[in-house]
Each structure stands twice: as structure tokens, then as C-alpha cells.
Chain A
Amino acid sequence: MALIAGLIFGLGLIISGMTSPSKVIGFLDLFGAWDPSLAFTMLSAILVSFIGFRRISIMDKSILGNAINLPLTDRIDNKLILGSMIFGIGWGLVGYCPGPALTSLMLGNIQTLIFTFSMIIGMLTYEFTSKKFA
């Protein structure tokens, strides 16, 4: 089922325009010629996944019998704010976030490969240094 979810998620990213860095930059260009399309993507995605999260809130286990893994912490800390801001800078520089980068890997573009490889380096950097930040 995770495979099917991944496929549908990827199709959604392609259809919405999220896999097009120029479309994403257009969405983030609030102070220039702003293309609000991807706000519609976020809103409709939130509305539909709201139904799923509503459903799961009255279930003890997932349909396949797994425990339901939801984050427990509710604390807003500097790590959350700083990390998200760093992520946003990278997102605005090129127009890729993690999902669309993975989904675009097979489109045969060398720049996507460079981005995804660097993104994994960034993640590994965090994994190896996270004890210092904790």
C-alpha cells in the first residue's frame, strides 16, 4: 500500500506543477508576478488528508495492523523555526523540495540528480551532527 500511496503522491506532485521548479519559484515570487496555483494544491491536499487524519483518530491501529505513528511533541522551539527557515531558503533558491526532487529523478535531468545528491548529503550532515544540536 505504501508503494501505491507513493505512486499517487508522485502523480499529484507532477499534475499540480510541484515538480516544475519554475512553477514553484513563481509561487514563491510573492513580490513579483505571483502565481498562486500551488496554494490551491496545498489547500486541496490539506482538505483531503484532513479526512484521512480524522478517520485515523478514531482507530486504534491502521488497517494493516500497524501502530499509528504521530508526533507527540507540541513544543515550538528554535530548532523547528531555524530548520524550517533554512529549508525555505534552499526551496526558494532552486524550487525543489524533497518530494518533487525524488519524483523528478527519472526525468533524466542532471540538475535534479545534483540537487537530490546534495540534499542527501545535507540530511546525512544532520544525522551525524544531530547529537550536538539536541
Chain B
Amino acid sequence: MTIDWINFTPWISSIGGLLIGFAASLLIVFNGKIAGISGILAGLLTPVSGELLWRIAFVSGLILSPLVYHLVAPLPSVQIHSNAWLIMIAGVLVGFGSRYGSGCTSGHGVCGISRFSRRSFVATACFISSGFLTVLLVRHYIG
């Protein structure tokens, strides 16, 4: 393991994290909801009355946030080097896995850990380590 100092951005990444944590706090304190994005999105796919409006509002905020960002700074460009088939497979795995495991980076990784949920510690350890292994295999053995 070596540290990639060229791309290392501790300050700006921490500031982004502060905003994410602040947004998660707003959602729980004002709406009483956990900012778990896979769960919020899945709730839009299988609508339950009374549970729809806040989900639409939150997801709209996410989707529209680049417009707000763009008022201040140019948007970063997206660079994905994978082919379309791999992207589809990855998308299905992310969608299915996050539902099967009841959460993703936001719900388990941020909200769950900050409220000391045992389940979320285990889930986060699992997806980070399988992410590490996947990148190890794809980048250093296959790619």
C-alpha cells in the first residue's frame, strides 16, 4: 500500500462530509427520517401513502444539487472507464445488494454508525472490504 498524495484532498473531502452529516441531521431532526438513500429511493418504487412526499422532496434535492453547485463553481466532469455491460452489472449489484443488506453508504455508513447501530458497523465493514477486494481483483489481477 502506498498513499496517493497527488489526489489526496483531506480538507475539501472533510468539508463535503460535514455537509452530508448536516443534511442527515436535518432530515432526522425535522422529518424524523434516516438519510439512507437506497431505502428512500426504494420507497419511491413501492409507494406507501403518506411516505411519498418527503422521499420525492429529498431525492429531488439530490438530483437538483448540481444546479446549486454550478452557481458557485464549474461542475466536475464524470469519468468512467468501464464499458456499458460492466456498468449494468455493477448497477444491478448495487441496487439489489443495498436492498438485501438494508442499506448503503449513507444509511449504514453514515447514519447507522453515528447512532452506534451494531448492524450498521457490520454492514459497513462488509461493503468496504468487498469494495477493497473488488478493486484489488479488477485493477491488479484482471484489469
Contact = CB atoms under 8 A, between A and B. Distances in A.
Interface in B15-49: 15-35, 37-38, 41-42, 45-46
What DSSP secondary structure best describes chain A's contact surface?
A: helix
Interface string A104-133: 111101011011111111111111001001
A133 B61 CA distance: 33
A63 B25 CA distance: 12
A42 B110 contact: yes
Interface string B53-84: 11101111111111111000001111111101
Contact of A16 (B15, B27, B111): B15
Interface residues of B, number: 111
B21 A46 contact: yes
A6 B65 contact: yes
Interface residues of A, number: 114
A102 B62 contact: yes
Given A28-B134, A111-B84, A42 B25 contact: no
The list of the 9 closest CB pairs from A to B, nearest first, reads: A6-B61, A16-B16, A122-B95, A52-B25, A83-B101, A10-B65, A118-B91, A48-B21, A92-B134
Interface of B: 1-4, 7-10, 12-35, 37-38, 41-42, 45-46, 53-55, 57-69, 75-82, 84, 86-106, 108-111, 113-115, 117-119, 122-124, 126-136, 138-140
